[in-house]
Amino acid sequence: MPARENIPMSRGEKHKFFKVFLQELSGRRMRIPPAFQRHMEGNNSGTVYLIGPSRNRWIVKLIEEDGHLYLSRGWTSFVMDHGIQHGHFLVFEYDGADTFNVTVFGPSGCEEMSSPRTKPSRGSKVKQEEPEQESGAHDQMLKEDEGSSSKAGDIVVTAIPTFYSMVDSFTG
């Protein structure tokens, strides 16, 4: 099999990677997968921007240490501002220059939607993007839930396996 060469991204082509957020490994800084680093040639230190579910942009320091790239200063603010917790599943989409769009999935396996009021802490915001106006099935379910009431004594039990619990069960 021929060796795979590093081919520059075409205009509009975006590369992605995912991380399961584990507090002890990614709480202070987050390592970018070594295999993904080849997509970031020429941007191995400096500043990158993270756009989270709130559509705001966070300034995050990118550092290189022992041949590995890390999201560093500004990362903890991004995590705290979006309520990212142990076991959340994060998908990073790189624009090929300096920005990552970050999609956050919660323990239920569903995409987490930030409040439009989610604001970067400690001045890490660059600018606020215009939020996209979407009204889908999720919004309709929320409206229906707000209008419903349950009688005293009704018990509803919901069991939803989480991604983290499934990984944990496989890894022991």
Give the pLDDT mean for 122-133: 48
Question: Does 136 score more than 70 pLDDT?
Answer: no
Of 137-141, 155-159, 168-172, where does the model show the most confidence? 168-172
pLDDT band at 121, cuts 50/70/90?
A: low
Residue 18 pLDDT exceeds 60: yes
Residue % of the chain over a pLDDT of 90 = 47
> Residue 37: which residues within 8 A CB-CB, separation 6 or more?
44, 68, 69
Q: What is the CATH number of domain 15-132?
A: 2.40.330.10
User: What's the whole-number mean pLDDT along residues 31-40?
Assistant: 93
Q: How many angstroms separate the CA atoms of 172 and 155, rounded?
A: 32
- Which pTM was predicted? 0.64
Comparing CA positions, the residue from 131, 83, 78 lying closest to residue 107 is 83
Alpha-carbon distance of 48 to 50, in angstroms, equals 7
pLDDT given for residue 54 in this prediction: 86
The burial class, CB within 10 Å (0-12 / 13-18 / 19+), for 56 is buried
Taking the domains of the chain in order of start, what are their residue ranges? 15-132
Strand partners, 56: 128
pLDDT for 162 equals 47
